[in-house]
Chain A
Amino acid sequence: MKAELLTYTPLAEVKKVFPDLETDLLLPHLNYTFAIEKVSRACSHQLVRHRVASFSQQSQRYITVKRLSEKIVVPPSIGSNEDFDDLIDSASIAYQKLVESGIPKEDARFILPNATETSLLLTMEGKSLVHFLGLRTCNRAQWEVRALADMILEQLRAVEPIIFNRAGPYCYQLGYCPEGRHTCGKMKEVIERYRVE
């Protein structure tokens, strides 16, 4: 998995013209574009639920999935598992057979699993990104999207610390956990993990 910040609109350029406006009011005017690479389709499904964003994703209508078994994401909880590996091999063989028999890629892909790797461009404005990070760096987020959100946060803090040193899971942003009865119960240690000296 890789997340690389490719371009962004710098806060300083906007602040030069509007020095008195609060940074929070300027967040919707700032964009951040990331290359997100080699994540699973399960992960990209979670990304596209953040609707105030733009996505350009590798299309399975145009790109043939070759050697599926080498291009999958395996959850650590599964690791090396015969049932999982067998199913991936079967899906790979069936997909190839369908494509070779003339079935369009857009239909053959119906057999591909959620584990299939994908890459995409993701663009979000600052306010939505802070919300995304609030939800997806949370201890309760799924492991893959949380690892991705942590990578994104790290790079944002490097280029725009004024904005993103305050970003992180919602307990870190708000000082309380908004997850209610679903709380992980580890707020203190989570806040400590994201605290910036």
Chain B
Amino acid sequence: MKLSLIANSPDMETMIATSMLTTTSGAMPSTLYDRLKAKPEKVADIVGRVEVQHGNILEHNRLVWRLEATRDEVLEIMLKSKFFNITEAGSDTWVLSCNLRTIAEYHQIHPDEFSRELIESIKEAAPHVYGFIKGDKE
């Protein structure tokens, strides 16, 4: 099985912080997003306090991978989590996508090789989420 990240929503961690503050502050979400984009240190601080249980704030994003896997391997992924979107793109080649919540929850329940590959692929795009998902299990 081989996984390559090919696309993701931009500013994923800024959006997580925006989502957290939207629920608890009276400020408009677009204002929060613009303010937070200019303050990466604040985003890091807020995202550093995220817990996996607070799942919905991790859903405002999507990551897309090229997956090389057999049909059996793909079936196993689909049986383990219903939240992956998977499309056949050729012989043993698939488009796979999900959001950060799916990755975090999958890793909590199935810390297998596939989940480790998923997590390693988000290291640059969502470094703080990468940190807490990894730290949560290790």
**Partner among A10, A21, A37, A59 whose Cβ is within 8 Å of the Cβ of B95:** A21
Asked if A13 contacts B7 (CB within 8 A), the reply is yes
Which residues of the partner chain B approach A120 to less than 8 Å between Cβ atoms?
Answer: 22, 29
Contact A35 B62, CB 8 Å, known A28-B97, A29-B87, A55-B56: no
Closest to A25 in B: B87
Tell whether A18 is near chain B: CB-to-CB under 8 Å.
yes
A29 to B24, CA, bound (A): 30
Asked if B29 contacts A9 (CB within 8 A), the reply is no
Q: Which of A9-38 contact B (CB under 8 A)?
A: 9-10, 13-14, 16-18, 21, 25-26, 28-31, 33, 35-38
Closest to A38 in B: B28
**Partner among B7, B59, B64 whose Cβ is within 8 Å of the Cβ of A54:** B59
Contact with A along B82-93 (1 / 0, CB 8 A): 000101010000
Q: Which of B21-40 contact A (CB under 8 A)?
A: 22-26, 28-30, 33
Which residues of the partner chain B approach A35 to less than 8 Å between Cβ atoms?
Answer: 28-30, 33
**Partner among B9, B11, B23, B57 whose Cβ is within 8 Å of the Cβ of A31:** B9
A54 to B62, CA, bound (A): 11
A14 to B18, CA, bound (A): 26
A8 to B64, CA, bound (A): 12
Contact A29 B85, CB 8 Å, known A17-B6, A35-B33, A63-B26: yes
Main SS class of interface, A:
strand
Tell whether B15 is near chain A: CB-to-CB under 8 Å.
yes
A17 to B5, CA, bound (A): 10
Chain A CB count within 10 A is highest, among B6, B23, B66, for B23
Assuming A37-B29, A62-B24, what are 6 further A-B pairs, CB within 8 angstroms?
A7-B15, A13-B64, A18-B66, A26-B95, A38-B28, A121-B18
> Chain B: residues with CB nearer than 8 A to chain A?
6-11, 15, 18-20, 22-26, 28-30, 33, 56-57, 59-62, 64, 66, 85, 87, 89, 95, 97, 99
16 A-B residue pairs with CB within 8 Å: A6-B18, A6-B33, A7-B61, A8-B9, A9-B7, A9-B9, A9-B64, A18-B95, A21-B87, A28-B87, A35-B29, A55-B56, A56-B57, A56-B60, A62-B23, A63-B26
